[in-house]
């Protein structure tokens, strides 16, 4: 499928220069490259500028409650694991109001790709500090420097148990597209932290700011993929150390990937007989005339007193 | 033959096997052909605080309890102090003489307020307040007392059996107590031994030891007079099951094709989800094994979000919670209303506000359930009155959700959630209800519009993955599901959503929305809802025998409100009975029908209304025209 077939004719109403444009293009390109039928994708977005992305992508998209796109996406994915489920939301959405869900998703390792639109501000409400904005930073939208310490999405995702942890840059579309494809291919929870500018409200983390600092984690210098159990500790520790790097040099790329951890779907399959073959959404519950197909007789028998 | 109808109660510290003891009793008497309704009362505590089981044994089906106990079976001191005043004249106390010298001051689990009431009570009688004192008072009140040194008897038995660890045998004290009571009730020993077989079969020496303890109990009581009502075998037909409210809702959901349930642990709701999780591999009539994914979430916000997400894929989805959890679910409820998600929330009501009375009964969340969520959006709200209703309501809730593409809130009060009942298996038939999925689109449709404006408000629903693409947003949207703030589009979409409730109102038959009992010409009509049904049915029956005709309208659906009830209510003296402070159902009658209720019978101490107190209150209202009676019975 062509990249253009993933576009809709809804007007994209982001501010000129917004990093969201790059993410939208990279996502559409990745979806085209990944070659699933458009109707097998499901994108769940949060609230804020980034949340509108689903309306611009020609595949099923649910523009969610603030912070709840992760649990809603998990529900859809677990009910029908054949869907390719993508979560798109801002750092305020997923690391502020939805941070509990962000952490819990890692513990489950459900097979989904989380795209974190990371610009450090709540844009749609005029630029309040969001969870990735460092303490002491005063953007032009703030009257005083940020009072809260920032969260580190990479370190948090590693701690929470995400099995694919990467960072990209909204203005390097090809690099971002490649990582989105890898995140979709990954079996388990994938976090892709996407650095971007908010040209309207964040005058600190601008294109110029990132331009001089970003460098790519690439082979042969860097390989974060765990391929056998004995590499686990070492690669995890190195990824965590790398996650702390923020200053004159900021790494982007794949920090860590570990497919040795069973996905939540694998774990359910161990307990629910039909799951792999017939996931919940695809099971029959009645005959064509609506007759109930559940046979309660064994369950009732176990409760018999007479 | 007299119509057997008696109350048996046992209690003890939580974690000491009260549930097991009560289960043993219920199963044993059920085997003689009796129906059982068991009320479970417990504290928010794991070990040590007082919990008790009140069990009604009767020839006919019942769904309520009486306050006066026929038999009190107590092996610990606190149970005596909690219940000795409830034993009726001529009733029996079977207790543990081992505890005779225990006094109220030294029972640390007794709540201070009760301790003070007891101090005052015994002080007036110039008594110290020992178990023996309480027993003496009960005797004065006409109770027959059978005392046994239960630990002593069990120790003798253990020695006889060559058991080295006497302490291990102490756990059989409650079996002994139960068996002493069934013997005095004239129940055949075989029934309680078979009941023990059901419960302990396959658990090593446990079964044989229980059998030996039961033999001992029947030996100890062989020369004692039986109770005036004896549980001789009576005829029965077919199979019967023993089920609690949580489990019967779970069974209803499985029958109704539930395929996804997410939940966060909360009393008194999580037993339903735990049962589902344990029984999720379900046999279908074509012999395949399918079943729902059950997911424990990080909080109730995630629970409803996951259920919403799963529902979008076509899996029938639900969550189960109680007041504090539902409070967190409200935003997800509104989202389901806005993007028209078929999702079911089983809402087990407990005492609020805040943490409130976590393990006690309440019906104070009716107005909250009805109005939960900002903005107007349609939802179906129904409530069940007994186990059988809860079973079918659970199935129908899944149907309503899909037919009208909106959230359905199924209210079950704690009294029903935790009540055990013996039920004829034939009453739980999966052939009585059909699966109705409404306008669901299984094929690809060109230019598909998820929110297409239609005559009845219901748009054909594509599920994610079915080949159709669509958008949905919690913002106001157009037919395609894209954001709009256009005033005209807003009106048509708002009206479309609300119209679905009008459609539901037209289509859902009255028989699923309320029941009317008694003579339609009666001058007084009781209006009530939820599990109060059981006690009220008993009371109108008793009053009828006294020559007083009373009607009873049991409301089961609150949204859409069945306005047809008006024809039963106009021109009548109305008595509203509810387990809340404000009379929330009476408020609705006023709001929906403009009808003013004449009298209120309210209860909010966390215990469900008993037959006796409902009877006295109704009588008071009929005779004296009393406007409001607050019921306060309960332990």
For position B1, what pLDDT does the model report? 40
How many domains, chain B?
A: 4
Return the residue matching tokens 């096997």: B17
Does one domain contain both B396 and B454? no
What region, left, alpha or beta, does residue B287 occupy, with left being phi > 0 and alpha being psi -120 to 50 degrees? left
For position B442, what pLDDT does the model report? 82
What region, left, alpha or beta, does residue B111 occupy, with left being phi > 0 and alpha being psi -120 to 50 degrees? beta
CATH number, domain with residue B323: 3.40.50.970
Q: A283 and chain B: CB distance < 8 Å anywhere? A: yes
Query: Among residues B249, B158, B243, which one has the least CA distance to residue B209?
Result: B158
3-class secondary-structure state, position A193: strand
* Structural domain includes residue B585: yes
Q: Which of B432, B459, B483 is the last residue of a domain?
A: B432
* Structural domain includes residue B390: yes
* Structural domain includes residue B100: yes
Q: B467 and chain A: CB distance < 8 Å anywhere? A: yes
Mutation target to probe the A interface, by most A beta carbons within 10 A, among B264, B309, B377, B430 is B309
Give the separation between CA B102 and CA B132, rounded to whole angstroms: 8
The maximal CA–CA distance of chain A, rounded, in angstroms, is 79
How buried is B47 (Cβ within 10 angstroms: 0-12 exposed, 13-18 middle, 19+ buried)?
A: exposed
Does one domain contain both B464 and B552? no
A62/B260 Cβ within 8 A: no
* Structural domain includes residue B237: no
For position B163, what pLDDT does the model report? 77
Does one domain contain both B473 and B610? no
A303/B247 Cβ within 8 A: yes
Average pLDDT over residues A256-281: 97
Q: Do the beta carbons of residue B607 and residue B360 sit within 8 Å? A: yes
What region, left, alpha or beta, does residue B135 occupy, with left being phi > 0 and alpha being psi -120 to 50 degrees? alpha
What region, left, alpha or beta, does residue B213 occupy, with left being phi > 0 and alpha being psi -120 to 50 degrees? alpha
For position B162, what pLDDT does the model report? 84
Domain of residue B165, residue span:
5-220
Q: Which residues of chain B, if any, have pLDDT below 50?
A: 1
Which H helix or E strand runs over B350? strand B343-351
Does one domain contain both B69 and B83? yes
Q: B309 and chain A: CB distance < 8 Å anywhere? A: yes
Does one domain contain both B216 and B254? no
Contacting A residues, span 49-68, partner chain B, CB-CB under 8 Å:
52, 54-55, 58-65, 68
Are β-strands B35-41 and A250-258 bridged in parallel, bridged antiparallel, or unpaired?
unpaired
Does one domain contain both B427 and B463? no
What region, left, alpha or beta, does residue B498 occupy, with left being phi > 0 and alpha being psi -120 to 50 degrees? alpha
Does one domain contain both B481 and B375? no
Q: Which of B432, B462, B481 is the last residue of a domain?
A: B432
What is the per-residue pLDDT across A24-78, written as a single tens digit (0 to 9) for each? 999 999 999 999 999 999 999 999 999 999 999 999 999 999 999 999 999 999 9
Sheet containing B50-58: which strands, arranged edge to edge? B144-148, B87-96, B69-74, B5-13, B50-58, B35-41, B420-424, B240-244
Q: A10 and chain B: CB distance < 8 Å anywhere? A: yes
* Structural domain includes residue B205: yes
| Closest Cα in chain B to A6 | B469
Q: Do the beta carbons of residue A87 and residue A184 sit within 8 Å? A: no
Q: Do the beta carbons of residue A82 and residue A42 sit within 8 Å? A: no
Sheet containing B599-603: which strands, arranged edge to edge? B514-517, B550-555, B524-529, B573-578, B599-603, B628-631
Does one domain contain both B72 and B200? yes
CB neighbour list of residue A298: distance below 8 Å, 6 or more residues apart:
B283
For position B170, what pLDDT does the model report? 79
Fill in the DSSP letter of residue B170: G
Q: Do the beta carbons of residue B362 and residue B350 sit within 8 Å? A: yes
CB neighbour list of residue B138: distance below 8 Å, 6 or more residues apart:
B84, B85, B87, B93, B145
* Structural domain includes residue B228: no
DSSP B379-413: -EEEE-SSHHHHHHHHHHHHHHHHHHTS-EEEEEE
CATH number, domain with residue B566: 3.40.50.920
pTM of the complete model:
0.98
Q: A136 and chain B: CB distance < 8 Å anywhere? A: no
* Structural domain includes residue B576: yes
Does one domain contain both B29 and B150? yes
Buried b (16+ CB within 10 A) or exposed e, B234-272: eebeebbbbbbbbbbbbbbbbbbbbbbbbbbebbbbbbb
- Our CA-based measurement puts residue A276 at a distance from the nearest CA of chain B, in whole angstroms, of 11
What region, left, alpha or beta, does residue B248 occupy, with left being phi > 0 and alpha being psi -120 to 50 degrees? alpha
* Structural domain includes residue B229: no
- Our CA-based measurement puts residue A263 at a distance from the nearest CA of chain B, in whole angstroms, of 14
ipTM, 2 decimals?
0.98
Give the separation between CA A175 and CA A167, rounded to whole angstroms: 10
Q: Do the beta carbons of residue B556 and residue B88 sit within 8 Å? A: no
Tokens standing for residue B333: 């409820």
Tokens standing for residue A48: 């804020």
Return the residue matching tokens 């962000």: A102
Q: B515 and chain A: CB distance < 8 Å anywhere? A: no
Does one domain contain both B528 and B577? yes
Q: Which of B508, B536, B566 is the last residue of a domain?
A: B508
Tokens standing for residue B550: 């009373």
For position B204, what pLDDT does the model report? 82
DSSP A206-264: -HHHHHHHEEEE-TTT---EE-SGGGHHHHHHHHHHHHT--SS-EEEEEEEEETTSPPH
Which H helix or E strand runs over A85? strand A84-90
Does one domain contain both B262 and B319? yes
Q: For chain A, how far is it from start to end, CA to CA, in angstroms?
A: 63
Query: Among residues B318, B320, B474, B470, which one has the least CA distance to residue B402?
Result: B318
Does one domain contain both B386 and B502? no
A71/B301 Cβ within 8 A: yes
Nearest by CB to A72, from B239, B259, B308: name it.
Answer: B308
Contacting A residues, span 250-279, partner chain B, CB-CB under 8 Å:
268, 271-275, 278-279
CA distances from A35 to A29, A84, B425 (A): 10, 11, 52
DSSP B471-491: EEESS-B-TTS-B---HHHHH
């Amino acid at each position: 499928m062509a990249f253009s077939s993933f576009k809709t004719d809804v007007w994209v109403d982001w501010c000129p220069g917004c990093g969201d444009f790059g993410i939208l293009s990279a996502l559409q390109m990745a979806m085209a490259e990944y070659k699933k039928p458009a109707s097998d994708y499901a994108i769940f977005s949060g609230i804020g500028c980034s949340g509108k992305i689903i309306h611009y992508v020609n595949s099923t998209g649910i523009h969610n409650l603030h912070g709840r796109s992760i649990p809603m996406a998990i529900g859809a994915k677990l009910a029908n694991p054949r869907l390719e489920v993508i979560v798109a939301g801002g750092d305020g959405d997923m690391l502020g109001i939805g941070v509990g869900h962000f952490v819990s998703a890692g513990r489950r390792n459900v097979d989904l790709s989380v795209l974190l639109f990371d610009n450090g501000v709540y844009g749609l409400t005029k630029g309040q500090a969001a969870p990735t904005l460092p303490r002491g930073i005063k953007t032009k939208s703030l009257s005083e420097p940020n009072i809260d310490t920032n969260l580190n999405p990479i370190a948090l995702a590693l701690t929470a148990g995400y099995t694919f942890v990467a960072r990209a840059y909204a203005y390097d579309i090809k690099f971002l597209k490649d990582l989105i494809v890898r995140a979709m291919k990954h079996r388990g929870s994938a976090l892709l932290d996407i650095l971007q500018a908010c040209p309207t409200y964040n005058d600190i983390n601008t294109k110029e700011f990132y331009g001089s600092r970003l460098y790519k984690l690439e082979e042969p210098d860097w390989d974060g993929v765990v391929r056998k159990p004995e590499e686990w500790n070492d690669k995890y520790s190195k990824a965590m150390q790398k996650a702390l790097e923020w200053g004159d040099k900021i790494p982007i790329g794949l920090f860590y990937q570990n497919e040795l951890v069973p996905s939540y779907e694998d774990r359910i399959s161990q307990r629910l007989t039909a799951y792999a073959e017939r996931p919940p959404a695809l099971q029959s519950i009645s005959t064509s005339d609506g007759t109930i197909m559940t046979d309660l007789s064994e369950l009732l028998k176990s409760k018999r007193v007479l | 033959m007299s119509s057997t109808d008696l109350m048996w109660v046992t209690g003890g510290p939580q974690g000491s096997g009260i549930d097991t003891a009560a289960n043993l009793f219920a199963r044993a008497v059920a085997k003689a052909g009796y129906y059982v309704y068991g009320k479970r009362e417990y504290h928010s505590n794991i070990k040590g605080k007082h919990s008790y089981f009140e069990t009604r044994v009767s020839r006919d089906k019942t769904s309520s309890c009486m306050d006066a106990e026929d038999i009190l079976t107590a092996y610990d001191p606190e149970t005596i102090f909690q219940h000795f005043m409830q034993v009726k004249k001529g009733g029996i106390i079977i207790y543990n003489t081992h505890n005779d010298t225990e006094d109220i001051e030294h029972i640390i689990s007794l709540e201070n307020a009760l301790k003070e009431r007891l101090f005052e009570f015994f002080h007036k009688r110039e008594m110290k307040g020992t178990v023996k004192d309480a027993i003496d008072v009960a005797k004065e009140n006409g109770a027959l007392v059978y005392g046994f040194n239960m630990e002593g008897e069990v120790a003798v038995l253990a020695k006889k059996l060559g058991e080295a660890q006497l302490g291990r045998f102490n756990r059989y004290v409650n079996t002994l107590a139960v068996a002493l009571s069934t013997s005095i009730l004239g129940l055949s020993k075989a029934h309680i031994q078979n009941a023990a077989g059901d419960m302990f079969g396959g658990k090593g020496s446990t079964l044989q030891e229980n059998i030996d303890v039961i033999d001992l109990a029947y030996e100890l009581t062989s020369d004692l007079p039986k109770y005036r009502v004896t549980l001789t075998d009576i005829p029965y037909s077919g199979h019967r099951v023993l089920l609690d409210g949580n489990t019967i809702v779970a069974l209803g959901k499985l029958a109704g094709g539930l395929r996804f349930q997410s939940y966060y642990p909360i009393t008194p709701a999580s037993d339903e989800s735990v049962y589902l999780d344990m029984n999720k591999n379900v046999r279908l009539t074509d012999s395949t094994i399918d079943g729902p994914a059950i997911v424990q979430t990080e909080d109730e916000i995630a629970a409803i979000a996951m259920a919403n997400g799963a529902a979008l894929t076509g899996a029938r989805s639900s969550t189960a919670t109680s007041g504090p959890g539902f409070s967190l679910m409200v935003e997800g409820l509104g989202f389901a209303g806005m993007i028209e998600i078929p999702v079911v929330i089983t809402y087990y009501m407990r005492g609020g506000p805040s943490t409130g009375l976590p393990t006690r009964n309440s019906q104070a969340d009716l107005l909250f359930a009805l109005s939960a969520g900002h903005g107007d959006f349609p939802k179906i709200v129904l409530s069940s009155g007994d186990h059988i209703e809860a079973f079918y309501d659970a199935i129908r809730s899944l149907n309503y959700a899909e037919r009208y593409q909106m959230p359905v809130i199924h209210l079950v009060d704690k009294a029903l959630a935790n009540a055990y009942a013996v039920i004829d298996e034939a009453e739980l038939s999966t052939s009585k209800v059909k699966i109705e999925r409404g306008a669901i689109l299984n094929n690809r449709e060109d230019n598909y519009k998820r929110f297409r404006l239609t005559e009845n408000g219901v748009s054909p629903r594509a599920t994610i993955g079915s080949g159709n693409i669509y958008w949905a947003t919690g913002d106001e949207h157009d037919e395609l599901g894209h954001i709009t703030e256009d005033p005209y589009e807003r009106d048509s979409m708002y009206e479309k959503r609300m119209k679905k409730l009008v459609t539901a109102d037209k289509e859902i038959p009255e028989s699923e929305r309320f029941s009317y009992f008694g003579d339609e010409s009666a001058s007084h009509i009781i209006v009530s809802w939820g599990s109060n049904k059981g006690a009220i049915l008993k009371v109108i029956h008793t009053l009828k025998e006294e020559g007083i005709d009373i009607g009873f309208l049991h409301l089961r659906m609150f949204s859409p409100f069945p306005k047809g009830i008006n024809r039963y209510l106009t021109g009548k003296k109305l008595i509203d009975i509810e387990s809340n402070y404000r009379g929330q159902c009476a408020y609705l009658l006023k709001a929906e029908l403009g009808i003013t209720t004449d009298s209120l019978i309210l209860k909010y101490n966390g215990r469900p209304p008993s037959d006796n107190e409902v009877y006295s209150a109704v009588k008071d209202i009929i005779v004296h025209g009393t406007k409001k009676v607050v019921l306060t019975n309960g332990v």
